[in-house]
Amino acid sequence: AQTVTQSQPEMSVQEAETVTLSCTYDTSESDYYLFWYKQPPSRQMILVIRQEAYKQQNATENRFSVNFQKAAKSFSLKISDSQLGDAAMYFCAYSKWTGNQFYFGTGTSLTVIP
């Protein structure tokens, strides 16, 4: 069965600094998708970044980048130049290649300190 583990329930970062959120997953599949979603307090979940497992190149979206280690089944999120608006719960998610099922981790609550 697929599982997603986020071992950091809470993280904090100084404004303008860099922070890395960890995620590991378990799967026997070779093709799949990985995602990071952001859920601000009392607001809707939004996509931060996605990665196709067959791509070796790490995905980047502006200040957000991932370190995808397929053999280690690790998918960490790096946020550079942290901003106050980055404060939120961050969820790592796994999807089968078919997209029929999604599995989310338990989340990491990120605090940005001014």
Q: Which residues bind other proteins (CB under 8 A)?
A: 4, 33, 37, 44-47, 50, 52, 91, 93, 95, 97-107
**Cβ nearer to other proteins, comparing 12 with 106:** 106
**Nearest-5° angle of CA 99, CA 42, CA 4?**
35
Query: Residue 45's CB: how many other CB atoms inside 10 A?
Result: 14
CB of 15 to other proteins, least distance (A): 26
Shortest CB 111 distance to other proteins, Å: 16
Contacts of 103 (CB under 8 A, 6+ apart): 2, 3, 4, 25, 93, 94, 95
By beta-carbon proximity to other proteins, the closer residue of 14 and 21 is: 21
| H-helix or E-strand spanning residue 50 | strand 46-52
Of 62 and 98, the one with the shorter C-beta distance to other proteins is 98
Q: How far is the CB of 95 from other proteins (least distance, A)?
A: 7
